[in-house]
Structure 1
């Protein structure tokens, strides 16, 4: 798939199965993340790759979070199953570094670009995924257990695997609804 087609046809895929990216494919995904725009060369990212027992560990953390945050019994029961919706999850963290040139928002944006790059690299190699956030990304317990500092941001969970179904083509949007031109 050429780069333009990849960008124009990009679609998140929530229905994922095995195999997950591995070997050279996973290394390509990691390298794509490390090529994200990075003003000042701060490399304001950290990633945790969860597979197998790591997915179960993340699920137990979600369950603990659900309990401590007073979620319903149904949500508590569902929480440990959430990471099992894909054979791999990459947790993406923006690691804020105090900088007179690079504000926090720019560092979070850089980490977010890294997530998009990873998803694009996965899709270019026949895999796909979906970038999820939700309440667990904002939970102080989850943040603490994943080793985030106070100023860090958990930018999301990138679920990756092999598409279980063919996704429909993305809905076309009218560019003029979102862009204005100043001449």
Structure 2
């Protein structure tokens, strides 16, 4: 069976480590085009349980300084190398889109469904970035779950970080890695 270009694009998807992402990043028009694709996800009840926070330019370094302070506050015994790693986390890729989950109570749309929608947005944004010639990596780490970081980024009550999507021009393409064989994951249900 011949592959379609859409399947070839899905099959070519791979994360490019944030350390390997450099300038240029997408311009504002290109970013909006990526986001237009990213929001075309299953969304039961049209809840739109997500929003985006753009971190670029000097804001990346400002956030890094905060993370270094927070890293030391969380663990006074943290090594200087660990604190420096936290300081530099957002300084490599020229653009980071923080995907923020904002699930809301709805009797017909459980929170889990809303969170799956948000996960789809993260994945679709990575696909859109790659389709336009950029590399991307979806990261979380401790800062995605830390209340002080969430407050620093202006998250409202009930919001949480689903992922930091680092986007930029790949300095190198990562090698393909082993993928699971879908045939070993598929079962027939026989009732």
Of 66, 74, 84, the match for 1:69 = 74
Q: Distance in 2 between matches of 1:164 and 1:148?
A: 32
Give structure 1 stretches of 5+ with no counterpart: none
Rg comparison, structure with higher value: 2
User: Residue in 2 aligned with 1:8?
Assistant: 11
Does 2:184 match 1:181? no
Give the Cα separation in 2 of the matches to 1:145 and 1:103: 28
User: C-alpha displacement at 1:16, in angstroms?
Assistant: 0.8
The reply on whether 1:31 has 2:36 as its aligned counterpart is yes
How many residues are matched? 183
User: Deviation of residue 72 (structure 1)?
Assistant: 3.1
Contact map agreement 1:91 1:158 (CA 8 A) in 2 = yes
1:163 matched to 2:170: yes
| Structure 2 unaligned blocks of 5 or more | none
Contact 1:94 1:154 in 2 (8 A): yes
SS in 2 for 1:85: coil
Q: 4+ runs of 1 displaced by more than 3 Å?
A: none
Is 1:143 matched with 2:126?
no
Deviation at 1:57, TM superposition (A): 2.1
Cα distance in structure 1, aligned partners of 2:107 and 2:29 = 37
RMSD over aligned Cα, in angstroms? 1.7
User: What CA distance in whole angstroms lies between the structure 2 residues aligned with 1:91 and 1:42?
Assistant: 19
